[in-house]
Structure 1
Amino acid sequence: MDNNQPLEDMKNLGNTTINWLNAIGIRDRQQLESIGAEPAYIKIKERGFAVSKVVLYALYGALNDINWKQLDSQTKTDLIARVEALITEPVN
């Protein structure tokens, strides 16, 4: 996979999600991979954008070249748990 792949060419990412990613400084696949789906989702929420869990699933699916609708319930549960763990993690 092309690490410099534009966000527009990744699965699940529509214009609104791409705009949110751009707002947090993510412009291509490499930048999204380096931060990860969960931290990117948190940063988008912290910017004040009203995002649902579907955005988290879409980001994960984009990085794994999977339509987010094909994610099983365990994967979704794990993603939410990782987000919650990151949010409650103490800052050093």
Structure 2
Amino acid sequence: MNQQEKLRNIGPKSAAWLRQVGLRTRADLAAAGTVEAFMRVKRAGFKPSLNLLYALEGALQDCHWQEVPDARRNELVASAEAAIALLPPPRGRPAAAPVTTTMMLADDDAPLPSVDADVDADSDDA
């Protein structure tokens, strides 16, 4: 968004993201709609939180993002989650394969103690 057209709820970082995905004016944002604008930011590789989704809706409704009614928030989240589910997997990273555990045998063929993968290595339990 340009300096003359400051939208409610849209800070400098969000405005920069929107500009980078081609949403430069309030009219651009209105034409795209809340969920599509959010998805453009997400597809561009940024990591927007749901607060951006609510902020975009508040900007279009000219209200504070916290004033967006719960029912509308739920609609927005459901729409965004459905759109996110259709996104292709991230490039350069293969889909995660199942995790397997390999037991190494000591010289005397007794199994070595296993490490619980759920325990944080920095915790006192490890």
TM-score range, shorter chain: 0.7 to 0.9
- Evaluate the alpha carbon distance shift between residue 8 and residue 73 of structure 1 in structure 2; reply closer, same or farther with a 3 A threshold: same
Q: Percent identity?
A: 34
Aligned match for 2:6, one of 2, 9, 17: 9
Aligned match for 1:44, one of 33, 41, 66: 41
Structure 1 unaligned blocks of 5 or more = none
Q: Say if 1:12 and 1:67, in contact at 8 Å, map to a contact too.
A: yes
SS at match of 1:49: coil
CA–CA distance in 1 between the matches of 2:75 and 2:29?
A: 19
Alignment of 1:8-87 (within 5 A): 8-87=5-84
Q: Which has the higher contact order (CA 8 A, sep 6+)?
A: 1
- Evaluate the alpha carbon distance shift between residue 72 and residue 28 of structure 1 in structure 2; reply closer, same or farther with a 3 A threshold: same
Structure 2 unaligned blocks of 5 or more = 87-126
CA–CA distance in 1 between the matches of 2:53 and 2:5?
A: 17
- Evaluate the alpha carbon distance shift between residue 81 and residue 7 of structure 1 in structure 2; reply closer, same or farther with a 3 A threshold: farther
Moved more, 72-81 or 25-34: 72-81
TM-score (norm 1): 0.82
Deviation at 1:73, TM superposition (A): 1.9
RMSD between aligned residues = 1.9
SS at match of 2:24: coil
Letter in 1 for 2:13: T
